[in-house]
Amino acid sequence: MRFFLLCSLVLFAAASFGQRNCGSMDYAGRNGITHLYNNNSLPAQSHRDTVTNEILTVPVVFHILYNNSSQNISTAQILSQLKVLNDDFRRMNQDASQTPAAFRPAAADCRIMFCLAQVDPRGRPSSGIIRRQTSRQSFTYDDAMKFTAAGGDDAWDSRKYLNVWICNMQGGSLGYATPPGSPADKDGVVIQFNAFGTIGNLQANFNKGRTTTHEVAHWMGLKHIWGDATCGDDGIYDTPQQEYYHNGCPSFPQMSACSPNNNGDMYMNFMDYTHDACMNLFTHGQKVKMRGVFAVNGPRNSFLFSFACDSTLATGAPLPQDTTTIINDSTTSIMVEKDWMVYPNPVLSSIYLQGINGYELKGQSVTIFSMTGTLLHRIQLNSSNPTVNLSFLKPGVYLIRVGEGKMIKQRKIIKT
């Protein structure tokens, strides 16, 4: 008992004295996936590369796991975190001006943005926020928060969504991330509920949303700036070598055993361990590394084909396994004007059409267009509940139209 109390006190002390405790490297070590941080190449997943300076948009789903009401954080708190991500990865953070002059030329706008997922994996409208009460009082690095059966919440398709689980972590850990190439059902970021966003009841030194910025950067393949070894290498050309991590809120310059010049360590980099208020940049080299995971053949290339930020893609169509249809839900105004459904969306091979509210599909023409307006396919429907085989289409977004002339009705569909 005494030993247990002592251990608890030590952990409590580590957290309360404000030392950052990121579990990503510990997690990677335990799971034998440390090498993934050095590997930007996986089997080809798609057909498009990133374009220079294209703004990459990552759909995010937040899984809020709460054991008590204080852990069921407000939507405003969640939105405050989303804003921090968008500011930090665009170098639009207010404290960008705090970057020491010597390091300002290295600071980069990563041109990566984040949205709340507007469409769920089944093509239905979504807020991008899931709230689930759990009987677990706290979680550890065992990934239980990622599985509904273990008291967590299952990941959404991690090829198209960044999963962020917000929960109560044991022992003062602020969070951890999986590197690119991790198992799909565990892929994402875990954040301590009171080190998340900028409003709400937050830990004193971790109240500016930088824990999530740091962990999402791990998720995009970045290592800690000191390379997780004494005078280690983070694999980034423009982050100076430094002996170890910095805590608290240092002042410029900070020299250490292997500082390459008088500018010393880049302790204000998002990948060091300083307080939220004292970190403010990613470098050009870190930008290149992170954008690389989205490039063609990169492990997160599939995100270039995720359209989950586009709410117009949500058809609201009931899936075959659904027992209740959304069209009977009077609160779902999106369905009022609709008289036909198309599902599943996204579609793998065949898509089903169904007329509703008395709308007859039999005899109508169906056409498939590319998003640039090229006609790709035309058939005449000979059934009221037809199936259309789309296996010939490459993955991407298309328009499916029913009818002719002024009577055309259309939907966007995603082919996976």
* Catalytic residue numbers, as ranges: 215
CB 402 within 8 A of CB 356: no
Q: Interface with Zn ion includes 269 (CB under 5 A)?
A: no
CB 215, min distance to Zn ion, A = 7
- Contact predicate 152/146, CB 8 Å: yes
Instruction: Please report whether residue 189 would count as binding Zn ion according to CB under 5 A.
Output: no
Which CB, 167 or 342, lies closer to Zn ion? 167
Q: Which residues, in sequence order, are CB contacts of 63 under 8 Å at separation 6+? A: 130, 132, 145, 152, 153, 163, 164, 165, 166
Among the listed ranges 14-22, 30-38, 45-53, 363-371, the one in contact with Zn ion (CB under 5 A) is 14-22
* Alpha-carbon gap, residue 211 to 162, rounded angstroms: 15
Beta-carbon contacts of 73 under 8 Å, excluding residues fewer than 6 positions away, are: 64, 66, 166, 193, 196, 197, 200
The tokens for 357 are: 């509210």
**What DSSP character marks residue 395?**
S
Amino acid at 211: T
* Among the residue ranges 18-26, 75-83, 285-293, 312-320, the one whose residues contact Zn ion (CB under 5 A): 18-26
Q: How far apart are CA 365 and CA 379, in angstroms?
A: 6
Where would I find the H helices in 144-273?
210-219
Least CB distance to Zn ion at residue 22 (A): 3
Pick out residues in 20-49 that bind Zn ion (CB under 5 A). 22, 24
Q: Where are the beta strands (DSSP E) in 251-381?
A: 340-343, 350-355, 365-370, 375-380
Task: Find the angle CA(74)-CA(77)-CA(81) to the nearest 5 degrees.
Answer: 145
Interface stretch with Zn ion, choices 15-23, 34-42, 118-126, 186-194 (CB under 5 A): 15-23
Nearer to Zn ion, 200 or 227 (CB): 227
Q: Which of 180, 126, 392 is nearest to 290 (CA)?
A: 180
Compose the 147-176 pattern: x for residues touching Zn ion by CB under 5 A, - for all others: ------------------------------
Beta carbon of residue 139, minimum distance to Zn ion (angstroms, whole number) = 17
The residue among 164 and 335 lying less far from Zn ion, judged by its C-beta, is 164
User: In terms of CB distance, is 24 or 57 closer to Zn ion?
Assistant: 24
How many residues of this chain bind Zn ion (CB under 5 A)? 2
Does 81 bind Zn ion (CB under 5 A)? Our answer is no
Q: Under the criterion CB under 5 A, does residue 212 sit at the interface with Zn ion?
A: no
Smaller CB distance to Zn ion: residue 126 or 269?
269
How near is the Cβ of 346 to Zn ion at its closest, in Å?
33
Give me the least distance between CB of 37 and Zn ion, in Å please.
Answer: 11
By beta-carbon proximity to Zn ion, the closer residue of 280 and 301 is 280
Residue 274 binds Zn ion (CB under 5 A): no
Of all residues in the shown chain, the one whose CB is closest to Zn ion is 22
Taking the complex as a whole, how short is the minimal distance between the CB of residue 20 and Zn ion, in angstroms?
A: 8
Q: Are 53 and 196 in contact (CB under 8 A)?
A: no
Applying CB under 5 A, which residues contact Zn ion? 22, 24
